[in-house]
Amino acid sequence: MTTTATRPGARVRAAIAARTLRTDRWWLAPLITVIGLGGWVAYATVRVFMHDFYWVEDYHYLTPFYSPCITDRCIPEAAHFGTYLPGWWIIPEAAFSLPLLLLFRLTCYYYRKAYYRAFWMSPPACAVPDGHKTYSGETRFPLIFQNAHRYAFYAAGLISVVNTYDAILAFHSPDGFGFGLGNVILVGNVVMLWAYTISCHSCRHIIGGRLKHFSKHPMRYRAWTFVSKLNVRHMQLAWITLGTLALTDFYIMAVSAGWFSDLRFIN
């Protein structure tokens, strides 16, 4: 096999004993990623298998971690799209959306960079050696499936529509229309989810890729310009949406469990 070191004319690494010459805190970003992503996954796992405190009956708040609610254990009012699966403990209420969202985030270009660096140390940072002796990129099983990201994007768009529907239904109170702090949180989460989804690199390519002349496609050019502005914030939106998802879920759990009441502005 031809490697970088054996390829004719290839440069080899200078004979430096130190693993890296970097003296800054290059390890801080991977460490923050491990803590942030690890903590979020732990919280989400506990919540998904709690099978409780996901619905606020008075205000029709449904947490995104349980949407769409499709097992026969779902509270009937929370099952907006029907129940199709048995209510076994191992099956999450959102058994349709969670795997697709997991696929979307796992194959996201930003998250790939983040977890390759933080969890796989491949490499942990620029100018820091890889934690592994060999490197095959994403050309082989299983990482070749990272190419499925473009398809996961369509699924994530569909689930964002469902989340938007949930947020609209939540303008409810026992007297009819209602508006509270829960609505602000639900709508804020949905707006951020759309921003993250639209800022996806695949979305940018779908909208503006493979065009020879932007001048002949002014609408697509405008859309591409808008998506490009969001795209440069993709990393921030990836983290912000983890925050808004956890906040939305925690708030609905707290109100549902009776830890505190929803702050109501109207009804």
State whether residue 264 is helix, strand or coil: strand
The least CB distance from residue 29 to ligand FES, in Å, is 18
Task: Please tell me the total number of residues recorded for the chain in this structure.
Answer: 267
Supply the minimum distance, in Å, between the C-beta of residue 161 and ligand FES.
Answer: 16
160 forms part of the interface with ligand FES (CB under 6 A): no
Q: Which is nearer to ligand FES, 70 or 108 (CB)?
A: 108
Q: Which stretch binds ligand FES (CB under 6 A): 26-34, 102-110, 120-128, 161-169?
A: 102-110
Question: Looking at 79, 114, 192, 200, which residue binds ligand FES (CB under 6 A)?
Answer: 200
State how far Cα 128 lies from the chain centre. Answer: 28
> What totals of helices (H) and strands (E) does the chain contain, helices first?
8, 4
Least separation, in Å, of the C-beta of 149 and ligand FES?
A: 6
- Nearest Cα to Cα of residue 236 among 246, 224, 226, 244: 244
* Buried residues in 111-127 as b, exposed as e (16+ CB within 10 A): bbebbbbbeeeebbbee
| 66 versus 153: smaller Cβ distance to ligand FES | 153
Q: Are 173 and 58 in contact (CB under 8 A)?
A: yes
Which residue's CB is nearer to ligand FES, number 61 or number 153?
153
- The stretch among 71-79, 103-111, 171-179, 184-192 that binds ligand FES (CB under 6 A) is 103-111
Token pair recorded at residue 181: 């702090």
Does 234 interact with ligand FES (rule: CB under 6 A)? yes
User: What is the per-residue DSSP string for 195-259?
Assistant: HHHHT-HHHHHHHHTT-S-GGG-HHHHHHHHHHHHHHTTHHHHHHHHHHHHHHHHHHHHHHHHTS
Is residue 151 near ligand FES by the rule CB under 6 A?
no
Considering the complex, what minimum distance in angstroms separates the CB of residue 101 from ligand FES? 10
Interacting span for ligand FES (CB under 6 A) from 54-62, 75-83, 174-182, 195-203: 195-203
Binding site for ligand FES (CB under 6 A): 108-110, 149, 153, 200-202, 234
